[in-house]
Amino acid sequence: MKAAFLVVLVAGLAMADDRRSGYEFMSRETQAMQDDDTSNPAMLWALDGEQLWKAGKPSCASCHADMKGVAARYPSVNSGRLVNLEQRINLCRTGKQHAAPLPYESKELLSLSAYIALQSRGYPIAVQADAAAGKALYERRQGQLNLSCAQCHDQYAGKRLGGSTIPQAHPTGYPEYRLEWQTLGSLERRLRNCLIGIRAEPYPYGAPELVELELYLMSRARGMKMDAPGVRP
Amino acid sequence: MKRRVFVLSLALAPWMKSACADAMHDAMSAVLEGATPREGRVKIELPPLVENGNAVPFSVSVESPMTERDHVRSIHVFNEKNPQPNIGDFFLGPRAGRASVATRIRLADSQTVVALAQMSDGTWWSGSANVIVTIAACTETV
Amino acid sequence: MAAHALLRVPQRARRGEVIEIRALVSHIMETGFRHSQYGASIARDIITNFRCTYNGTEIFRARFYPAISANPFISFTTVATESGTLRFEWTGDNDFTASESAAISVE
């Protein structure tokens, strides 16, 4: 009986985690771009973010010691509302720093989120909130091509779409320097790209649908280590 | 003049196969100023299948002792199918220690990349590489 | 915001050792071949020149064309001759300039 139990336990552990981050789907050359902090273009934004962190009165630094592990826990519920990291930054800016919110995808907001996400590098993703709404969006067919996220990223992950390998869509590296954009961008920007790709109307930045999707993707990747700010093709 | 052009064409024959190599040929002629490059000593490293044509890791190295008397003066890199034939020019010298440069380049299409290296004795050497470039899936604009 | 650069220069080296130097600078490298969604041409805006000096002596120079990727990255080598400062300078269209320095200790 005990032996059987042990066998089942071992089998359970061995039904290994076959989740792979986008990093593992990239070519060796693109991985090399990310591996060295002095050759990872995303680090340029993190450097700017470090400066912004210390700027202003009050500055972020005046309240927060560090942001270790914080980005790994977003999106999260804040005062009853689900917010992503960028929205949480703006809540601090308006609520505590009496400053204007930073526009989505602005250099400043990306720099701050890159600097904060960098401090979660190596931390396992640890989102808590209920992701049912996001899961429904992920599995829903939409757009002129009538595709759901699940079809490419669950069913066909590892296979090719055009010249690219379809990743499993684990957002471990955001905000990321996407070679296609030639700049740093957020997960929301990438999701909007996907929606445009399937010829669906992309939700506007900050829309609850996008945040729900972000939450679902992060919860699906729970336990995987962050490698932000990453480089991706 | 005509004879010189003929000799140059022969020397560059491998890259003359497609019509779009004209601009590249002209750009290379401008740098060579009548000299004929020999194939060899110049090695280009490019991934054979590029993940994204916006940032392709590229490196070029030239076999040379890099001494005061025998070194690489410059390396000039060209491409076949971008809107413009030049990619970059790199100026070295004996203080380099090694003739090895790496950067990231943009490639608009599958094509040939050529590097010309001038040695301290004025001679020219060349190397080339072919690369396949595909477009990314799920781009931002349609 | 001021242009940022990331440098990789060994802090110390042996005299005569060939060292690898890397530099990455923030710049859009707008090719001049793109068009806005309304068909208007987007003007070229690139870094055209890069120079590295070692205690004042030029050890490496490069000319960049639009085919160099955004946020240009360059890696080259030099012989560690003496302790001192490596200075990196970038210039380009629209009077762009950027510079960074790194110290090196050579035994």
Residue A191 burial (10 A CB sphere; 0-12, 13-18, 19+): buried
Q: Is the pLDDT of residue C3 over 80?
A: no
Within 8 A of B109 by CB-CB distance, chain C residues are none
- A40, A44, A102, A118: best to mutate for the C interface, most C CBs within 10 A: A44
Is the residue at A15 inside a domain? no
Q: Which of A38, A44, A51 sits opposite C26 (nearest CB)?
A: A44
Is the residue at A16 inside a domain? no
Q: Cβ separation of C70 and B89 shorter than 8 Å? A: no
Q: Is the pLDDT of residue B88 over 50?
A: yes
Q: Which residue on chain C is closest to B53 by alpha carbon?
A: C69
pTM attached to this predicted model:
0.90
pLDDT at A56: 87
For chain B, domains (ranges, CATH) are 2-133 (2.60.40.2470)
pLDDT at A116: 98
Question: Which ipTM score applies to this complex?
Answer: 0.95
Q: Is the pLDDT of residue B12 over 50?
A: no
Residue of A63, A92, A149, A194 with catalytic role: A194
Active-site residue, A63 included: no
Range of the domain at A135: 22-232
- We report the CATH number of the domain holding residue C20 as 2.60.40.10
Q: Cβ separation of C75 and B89 shorter than 8 Å? A: no
- We report the CATH number of the domain holding residue A114 as 1.10.760.10
Between CA B69 and CA A127 the distance in angstroms is 63
pLDDT at A89: 97
Any CB–CB contact under 8 A between A33 and chain B? yes
pLDDT at B72: 98
Q: Cβ separation of C69 and B56 shorter than 8 Å? A: yes
* Domain total of chain A: 1
Range of the domain at C69: 5-106
Among B113, B117, B104, residue whose Cα is nearest residue B78: B113
Within 8 A of C21 by CB-CB distance, chain B residues are none
* CA B99 and chain centroid, separation: 14
Is the residue at A144 inside a domain? yes
Ranges A79-93, A210-224, B127-141: which has the least confidence: B127-141
Q: Which of A163, A164, A193 sits opposite B140 (nearest CB)?
A: A193
DSSP element (H, E) containing A172:
none
User: What are φ and ψ of residue B81, in 5° steps?
Assistant: -120, 0
- Tens of pLDDT, residues C66-83: 999 999 999 999 999 999
Is the residue at A139 inside a domain? yes
- Tens of pLDDT, residues A160-173: 887 788 999 999 99
Interface of C with A in 62-81 (CB under 8 A): 69-71, 73, 75
Is the residue at A12 inside a domain? no
Average pLDDT, chain B: 87
Is the residue at A199 inside a domain? yes
* Domain total of chain C: 1
- Tens of pLDDT, residues B20-31: 578 999 999 999
Average pLDDT, chain C: 95
Task: Retrieve residue A83's tokens.
Answer: 């917010």
Any CB–CB contact under 8 A between A36 and chain C? yes
Any CB–CB contact under 8 A between C31 and chain A? no
Using CA atoms, how far residue A6 sits from A2, A9, A141, B36, B67, in Å, is: 6, 5, 42, 74, 68
Is the residue at A195 inside a domain? yes
Alpha-carbon distance A38 to nearest alpha carbon in chain C (angstroms): 5
Q: Is the pLDDT of residue B3 over 60?
A: no
Mean pLDDT of B48-52: 87
Any CB–CB contact under 8 A between A114 and chain C? no
Across the B:C interface, residue pairs with CB atoms under 8 Å apart total 89
Cβ atoms of A47 and A112 within 8 Å: the answer is no
Using CA atoms, how far residue C20 sits from A210, B99, C11, C23, C75, in Å, is: 44, 11, 12, 10, 7
Q: How confident is the model at residue A49 (pLDDT cuts 50, 70, 90)?
A: very high
Mean pLDDT of A100-113: 97
Better pLDDT: B119 or A2: B119
Q: Which of B52, B135, B138 sits opposite A193 (nearest CB)?
A: B138
pLDDT at B7: 36
Average pLDDT, chain A: 93
Neighbours of chain A (3+ CB pairs under 8 A): B, C
